[in-house]
Structure 1
Amino acid sequence: MRSVDIKCLVLGKSLRNTISIKIKENETIDKLKRRIKVEKDFFKTVGTSDLRLWRTNTRIGSNNAIPSFDLSDSNEILSYFEVKDIWKENPPKSNLHRVVKIKDA
């Protein structure tokens, strides 16, 4: 089974906190959320269900400025999808692939 390397940006954090996760294409987005949660200490106090993910394919420019993202509900990735449902082929390595937001309390 093919593995995909996914880069995730956490809203409100700098690009230095971008998370890179290698995950198998047949795994669910819920599994991806669990893998993201263990990567950074600032997720210790939130549950996996409190993480929301959006698909993006945004190139990071040479100035490392954080781009704006469309976080409409239509772009949100639901937990039951598999990675292969979102990425049919390997995503470009130099791009951000997911935006992570901690659900508002």
Structure 2
Amino acid sequence: MNWVYLIIGGFCEIGFAACMGKAREANGGTALLWWVGFAAFLTLSMYLLYRATLTLPIGTAYAVWTGIGAVGSVVVGILIFKEPATFWRLFFLFTLICSILGLKAVTNA
């Protein structure tokens, strides 16, 4: 269950990054709603990271959590915020994914 908490927490990190990006583009009440979403995703993400670290090594858990958020945020940036999808961005994104999977593979928990 600890890995499930960690993976969901990583996806919540993607959620708060996306909400922050959308809040920057919005104004007034719409921006406020995006900031509320940001706070909710941030809180849930941190709580799930905490739960995961009750049984997983902190170094592995934090690296995987951050990696999921980083990969997801880049993908959201490309798909939603129209950021460039250059060869080198995708190459390093792929190496990051391989590193995350490697950390999970070598962690005994």
TM-score, with length taken from structure 2 = 0.25
Higher alpha-carbon Rg: 2
| Higher RCO (Cα < 8 Å, 6 or more apart) | 1
Q: Which has the higher helix share?
A: 2
Q: Which has the higher strand share?
A: 1
TM-score, with length taken from structure 1 = 0.26
